[in-house]
């Protein structure tokens, strides 16, 4: 039997979302089969994920807390991938962003007692800038020297982790522990629960201002990509570099700028995480947000607005997956989902024909 792929002349509007949903269903089925094969109970695992991620207002809030870094790093990947720029370094840019934001209060750049209205914006700028610098390295190397950005951006993830470890074990270590001292109140993003005295329903809800950063960033990235001349350039480079060159678009400059902005978004995610959730710097602040972001971006088909939805789904998986045994299950499900999405895209782009050998013309 042979498989023949015929490009579709017209792709119906409903086909792409349908394929995505089908891919998710197939991925859950395959993952369930694997969980069952290693002696787990897939139905119970899935019910557990649903319940632990969406079962009450409190856990929905926790899901959104996990979705926040995924949203910002997912945007970082979606923007770069839209230009077919493979930034696999969101994890490292996230860590550098967390470090840059922490430096504002730990170095300290601003003296103790500086009001939050100054500290928080300073941390945002420092986090985004540190992430941007980390993103610039593979960007500049690719633009000016033609060095493959996949390897360089990925390698810098490891370097970033050791960089964080140096600071939390060394200069910023608190009492010899592998973490820094807790941030002062001025350096902490407000959470819903902080307003529980006026709105009792907010009590215990840990959603923080970082979520707003993410949603606003999604809107801005969408507007730039879809509604601006520069966004058109980025999309044109992604779809057809040759056409972009003939149109006189400066590809090298765009590679550098997009890598920097991508890094800045991931860096802002790191700032939001240390300032909104962890409230100090330590080396285990990310369970791989920057890697999951790749799948988030792909699930959203690089559409910034859909990244919001995709990040909530994967936030749920990361939140609820922590208690699932065996512990590799969430990572495995992520891999299966990505494969299913890839195959689904084939069915969207092509009409797939299975033919018995010999009958084919």
Chosen residue from 12, 111, 115, 146 binding other proteins by CB under 8 A? 146
Residue 56 CB, nearest distance to other proteins (Å)?
A: 28
Chosen residue from 36, 151, 223, 360 binding other proteins by CB under 8 A? 151
Instruction: Write the burial class of residue 1 (CB in 10 Å: 0-12 exposed, 13-18 middle, 19+ buried).
Output: exposed
In the DSSP assignment, the letter for residue 282 is B
159 contacts other proteins (rule: CB under 8 A): yes
State whether residue 323 is helix, strand or coil: coil
3 state SS for 138-206: HHHHHHHHCCCHHHHHHHHHHHHHHHHHHHHHCCCCCCCCCECCCCCHHHCCCEHHHHCCCCHHHCCCC
Residues 264/157/270/267 CA torsion (nearest 10 deg): -10
Beta-carbon contacts of 237 under 8 Å, excluding residues fewer than 6 positions away, are 83, 84, 244, 249, 251, 254
Structure tokens at 239: 């779809």
Q: Are 305 and 312 in contact (CB under 8 A)?
A: no
Chosen residue from 15, 150, 257, 305 binding other proteins by CB under 8 A? 150
Stretch that binds other proteins, among 124-132, 158-166, 194-202, 250-258 (CB under 8 A): 158-166
Chosen residue from 9, 117, 145, 359 binding other proteins by CB under 8 A? 145
Residue 346 CB, nearest distance to other proteins (Å)?
A: 4
Residue 208 CB, nearest distance to other proteins (Å)?
A: 28
Q: Are 132 and 253 in contact (CB under 8 A)?
A: no
319 contacts other proteins (rule: CB under 8 A): no
360 contacts other proteins (rule: CB under 8 A): no
* Binding residues with other proteins: total (CB under 8 A): 52
Chosen residue from 58, 204, 219, 326 binding other proteins by CB under 8 A? 326
Beta-carbon contacts of 252 under 8 Å, excluding residues fewer than 6 positions away, are 143, 144
88 contacts other proteins (rule: CB under 8 A): yes
177 contacts other proteins (rule: CB under 8 A): no
Binding mask 123-142 for other proteins (x = CB under 8 A): --------------x---x-
Residue 236 CB, nearest distance to other proteins (Å)?
A: 18
Residue ranges in 22-61 that form contacts with other proteins under rule CB under 8 A: 34-35, 38
Residue 195 CB, nearest distance to other proteins (Å)?
A: 39
State whether residue 348 is helix, strand or coil: helix
State whether residue 57 is helix, strand or coil: helix
Binding mask 272-291 for other proteins (x = CB under 8 A): -------------------x
Chosen residue from 18, 26, 60, 147 binding other proteins by CB under 8 A? 147
Q: Are 330 and 4 in contact (CB under 8 A)?
A: no
Residue 356 CB, nearest distance to other proteins (Å)?
A: 16
207 contacts other proteins (rule: CB under 8 A): no
Q: For residue 305, what are the CA distances in angstroms to 23, 75, 79, 157, 352?
A: 20, 9, 12, 26, 30
Rounded CA separation 98/271 (Å): 5
List contacts with other proteins (CB under 8 A).
Answer: 3, 5, 34-35, 38, 86, 88, 137, 141, 145-148, 150-152, 154-156, 158-159, 162-163, 165-166, 169-171, 173, 291, 294-295, 298, 325-336, 338-339, 342-343, 345-346, 350
């Amino acid at each position: 039997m042979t498989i023949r792929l015929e490009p579709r002349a017209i792709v119906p509007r409903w086909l792409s979302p349908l394929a995505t949903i089908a891919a998710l269903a197939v991925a859950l089925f395959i993952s369930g089969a694997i969980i069952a094969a290693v002696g787990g109970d897939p139905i119970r695992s899935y019910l557990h994920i649903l319940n632990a991620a969406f079962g009450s207002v409190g856990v929905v809030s926790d899901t959104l807390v996990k979705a926040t870094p995924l949203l910002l790093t997912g945007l970082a990947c979606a923007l770069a991938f839209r230009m077919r720029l493979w930034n696999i370094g969101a994890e490292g840019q996230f860590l550098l962003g967390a470090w840059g934001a922490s430096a504002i209060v730990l170095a300290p750049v601003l003296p103790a007692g500086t009001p939050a209205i100054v500290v928080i914006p300073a941390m945002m700028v420092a986090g985004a800038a540190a992430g941007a610098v980390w993103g610039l390295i593979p960007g500049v190397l690719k633009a000016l020297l033609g060095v493959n950005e996949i390897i360089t951006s990925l390698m810098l993830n490891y370097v970033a982790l050791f960089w964080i470890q140096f600071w939390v074990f060394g200069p910023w270590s608190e009492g010899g522990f592998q973490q820094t001292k807790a941030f002062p109140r001025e350096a902490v993003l407000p959470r819903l629960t902080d307003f529980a005295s006026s709105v009792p329903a907010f009590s215990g809800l840990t959603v923080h201002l970082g979520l707003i950063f993410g949603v606003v960033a999604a809107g801005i990235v969408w507007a730039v990509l879809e509604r601006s001349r520069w966004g058109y350039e980025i999309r044109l480079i992604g779809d057809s570099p040759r056409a972009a060159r003939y149109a006189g678009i400066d590809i090298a400059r765009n590679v550098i700028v997009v890598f920097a902005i991508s890094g800045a978004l991931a860096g802002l995610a790191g700032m939001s995480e240390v300032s909104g959730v962890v409230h100090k710097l330590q080396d285990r602040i990310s369970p791989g947000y920057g890697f999951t972001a790749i799948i988030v971006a792909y699930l959203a088909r690089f559409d910034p607005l859909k990244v919001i939805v995709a990040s909530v789904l994967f936030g749920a998986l990361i939140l609820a997956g922590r208690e699932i045994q065996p512990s590799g299950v969430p990572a495995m499900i992520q891999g299966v989902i990505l494969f299913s999405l890839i195959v689904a895209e084939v069915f969207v782009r092509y009409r797939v024909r299975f033919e018995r050998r010999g009958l084919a013309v």
